[in-house]
Amino acid sequence: MSGLATLAQRLRELHHQSEPLVLPNAWDAATAGAVAEAGFPAVATTSSGVSAALGYADGEHTPPDEMFAAIRRITRVVDVPVTADIEAGYRLEPSEVVRRLLESGAVGCNLEDTDHASDTHGLVDAQRQADRLRAVKAAAKQQGVDIVLNARVDVFLRGQPDVEEAIRRARLYLEAGADSIFPIGIPDEDSITALVTAMPVPVNVIPGFRGAPPLPRLKDIGVRRISFAGRLFRAFQVDHQQRLTAIKSWQDI
């Protein structure tokens, strides 16, 4: 595990450099290789992109065996640290989440507080989620790898667009050992600034998503981790469809 421990430490350090950590998300070995070859110091996966590439809908519809196998194919082709979007952990026990994550070669992960087991897909109780995050961190340390845990806060996606609730949950997750906080869908600069100010750890934001500022402005207001979720995958899909339409119309591409 020493090699993974070194990669995990490198990933953690990247969150505290002079420049924010920018993570263009990959969905397979080819796109991960392209990210690394372009000079980015780490690779993040996107669950929506990986799921779609495997033929499944996002939202924990992908069998965990297939998700972790896809992550393994990604880590096999890059030398940089990989952090994996594993949704809410596929209802696996914390020790099993860690076992599969480390066997896949990833040294960081997103874990979200959406309750995929419920019909409403609402939010997991915040304390219960904090307990799960704490157990994941403990299991990883027991294996000798202090994984970088990016705790996703889903209040802005699940009908509770409340900055104070996001901060409350973020603090609980931070106390549980989270290394960064990901308030996905946070809608505007004022809300992002409030969360960045309240958090002593890096905050992860998707530029341009649901009203969030563009990448340069996120840097200016102190966002330390910037990722793109499934945006690059969707751009690829649009481009691919346009090229297919051109071919069908007997046009050059």
Under the phi-then-psi rule, with left for phi > 0, alpha for psi from -120 to 50, and beta for the rest, what region is 110? beta
What would the CATH number be for the domain defined by 2-248?
Answer: 3.20.20.60
* Whole-number pLDDT of residue 119: 76
pLDDT at 73: 98
Task: Report pLDDT digits (tens) over 57-75.
Answer: 999 999 999 999 999 999 9
Examine the pLDDT at 163 and tell me if it is beyond 90. Answer: yes
Q: What is the pLDDT of residues 85-115, one digit of tens each?
A: 999 999 999 999 999 999 999 999 999 999 9
Q: Report which of 207, 145, 199, 196 is spatially closest to residue 172, judged by C-alpha positions.
A: 199
Pair 45, 80: CB distance under 8 Å: no
> In this model, does residue 56 exceed pLDDT 70?
yes
178 near 140, Cβ under 8 Å?
A: no
Summarize pLDDT for 42-51 with one digit per residue, the tens: 999 999 999 9
Distance CA 36, CA 125 (A): 37
Question: What number is the average pLDDT over the span 143-153?
Answer: 98
Note the pLDDT of residue 1: 67
